[in-house]
Structure 1
Amino acid sequence: MPMSVNAAPDTANGGADSNQTVVFIAISYGFSLLIAAWVLYRVSGGLFNPAVTLGMVITGTLPPWRGLVLFPVQIIAGMVAAAVVSVIIPVDIGVTQTRLAPGMNVAQGLFLEMFLTAHLIFTILMLAAEKSKDTFIAPIGIGISLFVVEVAGVNYTGASVNPARSFGPCIASASFPGYHWIYWLGPVLGAFVAGGFYHFIKFFNYEDANPGQDSAGKDEEEVKGTTDLENGR
């Protein structure tokens, strides 16, 4: 993030990031989450975001006790990461703070953070928490989802969608914007929106809308038939 801001070749109207800078940031965040989640999902579930943890707790896909352990760890990790970056990279860590763009009011920022977070969390719930034969490649979809979120929101709110991500740089730079609270409340509301919609489609048995969506088709049926014959069925 510091490099993308300081090395940006140009800016958009009003001093906003140029489209190439936005894409660079989005790719950086998307791929970093893709790799980190894929590497660590067997260890901790690849959870780095308190809002995602909350979304999984309220949907019952993560035990509450585990959520209580992960919440402080994720916040502390955000602070430590920002402190390390501020020490090893010769830039003001304050440039990585998530801030509202000129013309964005607090209410707009709050609701944009809410919907962007809901998009990311619902993706995680459907691809990772909801088990299927595609779950092992869930990190790819999750990384792409974050890429989309960043492209949509980075020029307006910084597209934090993660309280730990916004809190860490503020602690490291000892500076908080007056509206910093939206980067907590927005993602929390987004977790409830995503969790509520997940409960909604589960209640109405979404699988019935597209039966056999996880089937491999004729090949799978042939393998099953062969297995049944071998078992004397």
Structure 2
Amino acid sequence: MFFGTGIFFFDSGLIFFVLPAGLFAMYAQGKVKSAYARYSKVMSNKNMTGAQVARTLLDKKGLHDVDVELTGGHLSDHYDPKARKVRLSREVHNGSSLASLAIAAHETGHANQHDEGYFFLTFRNNFVPIAQFGSSLAMPLFLIGFIFTTGQGDGPTYLMDLGIAFFSLALIFQLVTLPVEFNASSRAMSSLTNMGIIDEQERKGTKEVLNAAALTYVAATAVALAQLLRLILLRNSRK
């Protein structure tokens, strides 16, 4: 189970679960950067900015009360359900590239989900404080239980069990995020195509940007699952 002195941070779960998932996450981030770098240089034929696309798609759905505004940061684009605002980073807000259009359309997809009461989005939004609470307690509880429990299972093993249970909440959050993000991208592609904002030749690049972004959520789920498996493996080693 353990290598060397058996230090918590150098167990077999780290080698076989967490490191591969971490490499996958790095690959996903690289795909996003590569896709964005490539298609941020490809201007759309309609020459619409991300802000104009977002406004057009929102108005088409009757979401006139949802504002589109500029926000700071790089690729910090998001939809704020409480403020009912689509916030776009400067390069997306002002840009006319396929990457800008794809990202702007994706965020309006979340606004559409919110307006329709899309189940997974509603569940995720309500689950956020629970997941945050669980995440903040999971590792401290598990680590305390791990340190004070002997190899014969003597000690507060229930703390490790609690840590695993709380960490499971973070995994649930990541799992629920997947259909939310994939659905938003599907809505984006459909809207951009049906409204003639992109043509057939632009579909490939737009979809590549959206797929690369979606891969990061798959990677985040894989990392959470790998970490949970590692905790379970460590817990069983104390029996």
TM-score interval, normalised by the smaller of the two chains: under 0.3
Q: TM-score, normalised by structure 2?
A: 0.24
* Structure exhibiting the larger radius of gyration computed from Cα positions: 2
Larger proportion of strand: 2
